[in-house]
Amino acid sequence: MSTTTVPHPPPPPPQPAKDSNRNTAAMKSLPPSVFTLPQTAQLEALYTIIRDKNTSRGDFLFYSDRIIRLLVEEGLNHLPVVDKTVETPTGATYHGVGFEGKICGVSILRAGEAMEAGLREVCRSVRIGKILIQRDEETTLPKLFYSKFPPDIASRYVLLLDPMLATGGSAMKAVEVLMEQGVPEERIIFINLIASPEGLSTFCSKYPSLKVITGWIDQGLNEKAYIIPGLGDFGERRQVVP
């Protein structure tokens, strides 16, 4: 008896890696104060890993840290510089630049704390403040519960750290608190992994001269104010499960 072998269909061709613009729909008509990371295939691959519900905690930490590092580096690109001349070991003179002022980080607790290590890796011995904002049960508005800042924060550029910009309520309250400390709006750079279009629009309308560096702009929010498609609860995904 003769047997026939059914040939396997050929595997689908790999997708060509594009250098940019893999998230064009979400990036149309962004406010001028919003800067995204280059939307490359590599970046999308990192986001695909951290969005996957089956990704282990170890991989979630590793790959979200990689994105955080890219975001911090991009944030630093927006700091002003001044001319600086140095002499190199060859005896030549090099006319370069140096950062104009001092910086500090401020993390919005608790999820923002996860971004502190990424900032420290790039800026050694950087000062870091903290803000805890929670919903006031009576008014339902974001309320400041705790804050701690470097004493000279008013004279520093502030990198404000929060991974998920959902409704924008906590981030806006955090900026209000920083401005009460004397930090001008234009000296704050908000660094964020994933933003919802509605949160971004509310935030940028209230603080148009504050720069936002985000890795990815998602589709929107669900009824529980989670970002969709998002990655779930960022803090929970980094936590050790007891």
Please, what is the minimum distance in Å from the beta carbon of residue 162 to ligand URA?
9
In the complex with ligand URA, which residue's Cβ is closer, 122 or 221? 221
Among the listed residues 13, 35, 14, the one whose alpha carbon sits nearest the alpha carbon of residue 211: 35
Size (the chain), residues: 242
AA letter at 146: Y
- Count of other CB atoms within 10 angstroms of residue 229: 14
Tokens of 106: 């401020």
Sites for ligand URA among residues 77-96 (CB under 6 A): none
Tokens of 101: 């002022």
Segment interacting with ligand URA (CB under 6 A) among 11-19, 32-40, 94-102, 232-240: 232-240
Binder among 166, 175, 204, 210 for ligand URA (CB under 6 A): 166
Segment interacting with ligand URA (CB under 6 A) among 133-141, 152-160, 200-208, 224-232: 224-232
Segment interacting with ligand URA (CB under 6 A) among 99-107, 112-120, 134-142, 226-234: 226-234
Phi, psi dihedral angles at 95 (to 5 degrees): -95, 100
User: Is 161 an interacting residue with respect to ligand URA (CB under 6 A)?
Assistant: no
Q: Which residues pair with 220 in a beta bridge?
A: 228
- C-beta separation of 155 from 140 below 8 A: no
Q: Is the dihedral of CA 7, 8, 9, 14 positive or negative?
A: negative
User: Is 202 an interacting residue with respect to ligand URA (CB under 6 A)?
Assistant: no
Q: Match 């950087």 to its residue by tokens.
A: 126
User: Is 227 an interacting residue with respect to ligand URA (CB under 6 A)?
Assistant: yes
Binding mask 24-53 for ligand URA (x = CB under 6 A): ------------------------------
How far is Cα 60 from Cα 62, in angstroms, rounded to an integer?
A: 6
User: Is 234 an interacting residue with respect to ligand URA (CB under 6 A)?
Assistant: yes
**Footprint on this chain of ligand URA (rule: CB under 6 A):** 111, 164, 166, 226-227, 230, 233-235
